[in-house]
Amino acid sequence: MPVPVLIASMMRPEGETGVQTHVRAVRDWLARNGRPVTLVTPFDRPRWQVYPVFGLRRLLDRISKPASVWWYRHWHAVFLQRALSVRLADGKPCVIYAQCPLSARAALRARRSQAQKVVMVVHFNLSQADEWADKGAIPRDGGLFRAIRQQEAVILPQIDALVYVSDFMRRELQSRIAGLVAVPSRVIPNFLGDPGAVQTIEAETDLITVGTLEARKNQRYALEIVQAAAQLGRPLSLTVAGDGPDRAMLEHYVKDKGLGAQVRFLGFVPHAAALMPGHRACLHVARMENLPLTLIEALSRGLPVFAPQAGGMPEVFNDAVEGRLIPLDDAPAAARLIIEWLDDERRMRLASDAARQRFLERFEADRVAAELAVFLEAVAA
């Protein structure tokens, strides 16, 4: 009998973030294959306890964003630990698959026997402190920033095992946190269900970029590439799917540079990956990513990808096979690389076939989730 898996997450399962997508992918695959799996979140506690406390964060956010971040992290962890305590009270063997360091700490505190193993998956980029700072919610190198990093340095070495979704983050954390090399681990990438054979659709737009419109996603650089291409005499068309604090700035840039005929803003679109087949390639220009699901979604639909050599992105695709690595500091050079590929029909056809094959061999759910399940069973044993 497979060991029960409790997925511990600070977030609701509904949503478009990488963590939420991963939670659904793991939960659905385990359930579909007859594995006992339960999702545990802070929202499992009674509404009358949870909602008044969580609701105060909106007020705090207007007064002090760092205080709002602290409130979110503290109270979500408290209610998650309480929910886990109920599930783990019998002390029976299981694996708690934690989605972040605070989820892992809640599991460590809630478990009732050593037969209840805690495995954490590393979703974050560099550190959760860096992610909050990149959003502009806390000062970089401020007190809360340092406290979050210190929490990670304390929590992670206590965990029974770690799953890294990229080798980049394995190297990053093991070089930064003492004792982490000794923690059993495996690099198992993010995965998705197969959307099916690629449908032949006449692409109306050259490029699509998908993601929250915020500084760390760097979409202004995507617009600079479009502008550089226009100056080179080869206009590029771009769809921007996503919403966020940078939208007004990006729309102003498009208007100011006269790119309105080339750039289309869709705002937030649920399941935006479904839009990809109407485009020739996927453009992703984030300054840092662990292992972005957007690129995996593009590969699954046979889209060549253009992305920088940052974080774990070079692990998603092979340069000059399924796409190209582009510079992050030279828009004209990036534009020339993209144009060279887009205007070579044979190369794009080969890249499309290679992208689809790369997905099936490296990121398809049945293949990768089975590897994750085997690892969790080994930890439990």
- Can you give the pLDDT at residue 204? 83
Per-residue pLDDT tens digits for 250-287: 999 999 999 999 999 999 999 999 999 999 999 999 99
Q: Are 133 and 140 in contact (CB under 8 A)?
A: yes
243: buried, middle or exposed (CB in 10 Å: 19+, 13-18, 0-12)?
middle
At 374, the pLDDT band (50, 70, 90 cuts) reads: very high
Cβ of 378: how many Cβ atoms within 10 Å? 11
For residue 50, is pLDDT > 90?
no
pLDDT at 200 over 70: no
Mean pLDDT of 315-329: 97
Task: Say which residues have a Cβ less than 8 Å from residue 45's Cβ, sequence separation at least 6.
Answer: 79, 82, 83
How many Å apart are CA 294 and CA 292, to the nearest integer?
5
Query: Which pLDDT score, from 0 to 100, does residue 201 have?
Result: 65
**pLDDT at residue 343 greater than cutoff 90:** yes
CATH 3.40.50.2000 residue window(s) in the chain = 5-192+364-380, 205-362
pLDDT more than 90, % of the chain: 91
List pLDDT tens digits, range 298-320: 999 999 999 999 999 999 999 99
Q: Does domain 205-362 have CATH number 3.40.50.2000?
A: yes
User: Cβ contacts of residue 110 below 8 Å, gap of 6+?
Assistant: 81, 82, 84, 85, 87, 88
Q: pLDDT tens digit string along 213-229? A: 999 899 999 999 999 99
C-alpha–C-alpha distance, residues 119 and 173, integer Å: 16
Please report the pLDDT score of residue 15 as a whole number.
86
Q: Looking at domain 5-192+364-380, what is its CATH homologous superfamily?
A: Glycogen Phosphorylase B; (3.40.50.2000)
